[in-house]
């Protein structure tokens, strides 16, 4: 399986709520809060159902004017790996 086929899913123990276009999240088990900016929120939205990196990138591309955003693939990939490191999402086999 290549990196592009791996799908990611939200950790069910994380609850999230909208706060004026940003997202506040809480890891229920750890009792830890995190917040996401507007782009992070869009990526989180794209993960409402398990999704792969190309699928997430496509959704972000649709939501924002990303013409000046540089390498969007790399940015999404970095952000998704941050989410994973923080236990907010998991890889789906």
Q: Catalog residues that contact another protein under the rule CB under 8 A.
A: 15-20, 22, 24, 26, 28, 31, 33, 35
Q: How far is the CB of 21 from another protein (least distance, A)?
A: 9
Pick the closer one to another protein by CB: 40 or 50.
40
Burial (CB count within 10 angstroms: exposed 0-12, middle 13-18, buried 19+), residue 78: exposed
Other CB atoms within 10 Å distance of the CB of residue 76: 23
Contacts of 72 (CB under 8 A, 6+ apart): 57, 60, 61, 66
CA atoms within 13 A on the CB side of 72: 20
Pick the closer one to another protein by CB: 45 or 55.
45
Q: How far is the CB of 89 from another protein (least distance, A)?
A: 17
Pick the closer one to another protein by CB: 32 or 74.
32
Q: How far is the CB of 87 from another protein (least distance, A)?
A: 15
8 has which bridge partners?
51, 91
Q: How far is the CB of 23 from another protein (least distance, A)?
A: 9
């Amino acid at each position: 399986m290549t990196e592009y086929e791996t799908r990611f899913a939200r950790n069910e123990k994380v609850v999230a709520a909208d706060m004026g276009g940003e997202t506040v999240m809480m890891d229920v088990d750890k009792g830890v809060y995190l917040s996401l900016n507007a782009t992070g929120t869009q990526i989180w939205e794209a993960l409402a159902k398990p999704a792969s990196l190309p699928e997430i990138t496509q959704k972000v591309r649709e939501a924002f004017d990303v013409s000046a955003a540089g390498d969007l693939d790399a940015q999404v990939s970095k952000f998704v790996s941050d989410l994973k490191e923080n236990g907010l999402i998991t890889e789906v086999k």
